């Protein structure tokens, strides 16, 4: 099915990818998908998926194309779906519109349905080719793809420190290590995530709310009206049942999941709070079970924002896939608080290895994005 693609093919698929990115902050937990329809070298329709429950990218593009879809080529960043869900299968939509050719950037990552959409199209006599700008398409949906392939969410751990890897002075003083622009960048990370995980410790000690704050979104403010802001699900790990509904965390009325070990609590919680009980392993919460519970709820792209101990536990258990590290141009000295605690790592050969994907300045701070690599 993989073929040599023309320059025009590449340009149209590149446009489809750009369209898909428009859903970056809104499609969760659905994938970001873009679609472009071309007839006689002319773009006759384009669309992207904006929000779960709303039409898929192909539907928008086909509507825009109307009769011109007849005999056209459709470029779509993800294999069109073949099942009846909240919307009819997109493959059927393309067949009914009588398109001649479909170019797909990546096949469906779910091994159980992968290829079904392509087969439906080919059975209808449509020419299908795949793999054009596949890497770019993969990068659109790390969470969705990870969940489909492995049944587990993609976890991005956000950390911030000085150049010498310290997050606070010995006294605990830490406001602010990084600058306002780096903190805005974190707001955007939250805004793109299905869920944010934090610890009861952070919620209690720092009175953290962990929500997306519209006025700190920077340029994104122009694209997302204040009253229409999607909040990530806020997940808090509370192994000792220390949370109480009076905390500021609960003052924002958006979905919260409290993950505990089943200890009783007699509080009355707001309606948007769900309690989940997971296994515990020698008094510690089973983090893999936590993530499985989130996966069951379709939460695929997770931002981990917590202190050195919990972040270290996730890292030690190889449950973190990507690190986003902000480094302020400061030296705090050896007495400061450590970035991450991983007590099980005692030999250099056991140190966690990463590969650097991105290195940029955000204001005066350094932003490093790195993948945790298997050894």
Q: Residue numbers of the site for a second copy (CB under 8 A)?
A: 161-166, 169-171, 173-175, 177, 308, 312, 315, 323, 325, 329-335, 338-343, 345-348, 351-356, 359, 361, 364, 366, 368, 370
- What residues contact residue 234 under an 8 Å CB cut-off, 6+ apart? 195, 196, 198, 210, 211, 249, 252, 254, 255, 256, 257
CA atoms within 13 A on the CB side of 53: 1
Q: Residue 159 to residues 111, 305, 315: CA-CA distances in angstroms?
A: 33, 7, 12
Report CA dihedral (186, 29, 25, 22) to the nearest 10 degrees: 140
Closest to a second copy by CB, 147 or 332 = 332
| Cis, bond preceding 243 (omega within 30 deg of 0) | no
The residue count of the chain comes to 375
Closest to a second copy by CB, 230 or 330 = 330
Q: How far is the CB of 269 from a second copy (least distance, A)?
A: 34
Q: How far is the CB of 314 from a second copy (least distance, A)?
A: 11
Q: How far is the CB of 163 from a second copy (least distance, A)?
A: 6
Closest to a second copy by CB, 67 or 344 = 344
Q: How far is the CB of 332 from a second copy (least distance, A)?
A: 5
Tell me whether residue 58 is one of the annotated catalytic residues: yes
Closest to a second copy by CB, 165 or 298 = 165
Closest to a second copy by CB, 283 or 343 = 343
H or E, element range at 258: strand 256-260
Contact between residue 211 and residue 191 where contact means Cβ atoms under 8 Å apart: no
Q: How far is the CB of 197 from a second copy (least distance, A)?
A: 18
Active-site residue, selected from the candidate residues 42, 50, 58, 136:
58
Enumerate the active-site residues.
58
């Amino acid at each position: 099915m993989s073929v040599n693609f023309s320059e025009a093919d590449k340009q149209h698929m590149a446009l489809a990818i750009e369209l898909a990115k428009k859903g970056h902050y809104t499609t969760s937990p659905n994938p970001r998908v873009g679609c472009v329809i071309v007839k006689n070298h002319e773009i006759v329709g384009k669309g992207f998926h904006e929000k779960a429950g709303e039409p898929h990218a192909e539907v928008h593009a086909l509507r825009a194309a109307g009769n011109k879809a007849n005999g056209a080529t459709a470029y779509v960043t993800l294999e069109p779906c073949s099942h009846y869900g909240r919307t009819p299968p997109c493959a059927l939509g393309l067949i009914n519109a009588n398109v001649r050719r479909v170019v797909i950037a990546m096949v469906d990552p779910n091994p159980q349905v992968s290829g079904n959409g392509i087969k439906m199209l080919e059975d209808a006599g449509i020419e299908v080719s795949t793999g054009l700008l596949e890497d770019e398409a993969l990068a659109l949906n790390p969470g969705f793809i990870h969940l489909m392939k492995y049944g587990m969410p993609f976890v991005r751990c956000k950390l911030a420190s000085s150049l010498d890897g310290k997050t606070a002075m010995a006294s605990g003083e830490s406001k602010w290590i990084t600058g306002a622009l780096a903190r805005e960048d974190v707001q955007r990370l939250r805004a793109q995530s299905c869920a944010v995980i934090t610890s009861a410790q952070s919620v209690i000690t720092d009175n953290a709310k962990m929500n997306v704050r519209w006025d700190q979104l920077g340029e994104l403010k122009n694209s997302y009206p204040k009253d229409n802001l999607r909040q990530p699900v806020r997940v808090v790990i509370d192994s000792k049942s220390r949370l109480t509904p009076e905390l500021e965390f609960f003052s924002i009325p958006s979905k919260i999941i409290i993950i505990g070990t089943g200890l009783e609590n007699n509080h009355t919680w707001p309606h948007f709070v769900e309690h989940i009980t997971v296994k515990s392993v020698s008094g510690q919460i089973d983090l893999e079970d936590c993530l499985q519970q989130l996966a069951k709820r379709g939460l695929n792209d997770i931002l981990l924002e917590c202190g050195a101990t919990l972040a270290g536990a996730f890292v030690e258990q190889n449950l973190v896939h990507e690190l986003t590290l902000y480094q302020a141009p400061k030296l705090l000295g050896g007495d400061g608080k450590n970035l991450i605690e991983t007590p099980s790592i005692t030999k250099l050969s056991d140190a966690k290895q990463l590969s650097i994907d991105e290195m940029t300045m955000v204001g005066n701070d350094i932003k490093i994005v790195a993948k945790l690599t298997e050894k």
